[in-house]
């Protein structure tokens, strides 16, 4: 079960996260709890796998250079390659798709030269060719969603 504080953190701060030098203190003030309680709740949510990161979503290529990348990875190597790719700080996220190009990831670097160097390093370390997919059109998608906490939470275990 999620605490009321955890529910509020998950629901209320997907957008409009405080842009200040002490955002967690600001959140604590808005919610009437201590900064330590906010940090502990976020740590618990992260430990439960409900929060993977707290950070900004920056429009592609507004700061630095970014690209979508696809790779064809054999099923027996998929987990290994995905973990290696995730170890690069320039990789935002990766995911499996049902396609012969079955591993996709977003690569973000300080500039195009850095992006190409990271991509070359990934290819060298995996022994696989990567397909760079530059953005042709920008589609703004709101990734936030309202959570309905009236439903009972199930983690898939018995």
Query: What is the per-residue pLDDT across 6-46, written as a single tens digit (0 to 9) for each?
Result: 999 998 888 888 999 999 999 999 999 999 999 999 999 99
Residue 117 has pLDDT above 60, yes or no: yes
Shared domain check, 124 and 82: yes
Distances (CA, A) of 104 to 21, 114, 151: 34, 19, 32
Is 139 within a domain? no
Average pLDDT over residues 105-117: 93
| Same domain, yes or no: 74 and 20 | no
Whether 55 maps to a domain, the answer reads: no
Is 29 found in the same domain as 72? no
Q: Give the CATH number, domain containing residue 118.
A: 3.30.70.3460
Residues 91 and 127 in one domain: yes
Q: How confident is the model at residue 61 (pLDDT cuts 50, 70, 90)?
A: low
Residues 80 and 28 in one domain: no
Same domain for 74 and 111?
yes
Q: Does the pLDDT value for residue 101 go beyond 90?
A: yes
**pLDDT value at 1 more than 50:** yes
Q: What is the DSSP letter of 155?
A: -
Owner of token pair 């709890």: 33
Quote the domain boundaries for residue 18. Answer: 4-47
73 & 128 share domain: yes
Q: Are residues 83 and 123 in the same domain?
A: yes
Q: What is the pLDDT of residue 20?
A: 93
State the pLDDT confidence band at 66, using cuts at 50, 70 and 90: confident
Residue 144's H or E segment, with its range, is none
Considering the domain architecture, whether residues 70 and 97 belong to the same structural domain is answered as yes
Interval 113-120 mean pLDDT: 96
Cα(107)–Cα(65) distance, rounded to whole angstroms?
8
- Does residue 85 carry a pLDDT above 70? yes
Question: Is residue 145 a part of any domain in this protein?
Answer: no
- Note whether 71 and 128 are within 8 A (CB): yes
- Give the chain's domain count: 2
- Taking the model in full, what pTM does it have? 0.60
Q: Is residue 27 part of a domain?
A: yes
Asked if 103 and 82 count as a contact pair (C-beta separation under 8 A), the reply is: yes
* Domain co-membership, 69 together with 37: no
Both 111 and 79 in one domain: the answer is yes
Task: Report the range out of 37-51, 86-100, 115-129 with the highest average pLDDT.
Answer: 115-129
Radius of gyration over alpha carbons of the chain, in Å?
A: 19
Q: Is the Cβ–Cβ distance between 73 and 152 less than 8 Å?
A: no
> pLDDT at position 155, please?
52
């Amino acid at each position: 079960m999620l605490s009321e504080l955890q529910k509020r953190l998950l629901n209320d701060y997907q957008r409009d996260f405080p842009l200040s030098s002490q955002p967690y203190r600001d959140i604590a003030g808005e919610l009437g709890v201590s900064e330590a309680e906010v940090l502990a709740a976020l740590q618990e949510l992260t430990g439960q796998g409900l929060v993977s990161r707290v950070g900004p979503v920056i429009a592609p290529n507004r700061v630095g250079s970014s690209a979508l990348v696809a790779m064809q990875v054999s099923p027996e190597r998929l987990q290994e390659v995905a973990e290696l790719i995730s170890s690069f700080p320039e990789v935002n996220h990766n995911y499996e798709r049902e396609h012969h190009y079955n591993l996709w990831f977003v690569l973000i670097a300080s500039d195009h030269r850095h992006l190409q160097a990271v991509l070359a390093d990934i290819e060298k370390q995996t022994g696989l060719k990567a397909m760079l997919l530059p953005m042709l059109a920008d589609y703004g998608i709101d990734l936030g969603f309202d959570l309905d906490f009236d439903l009972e939470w199930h983690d898939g275990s018995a």
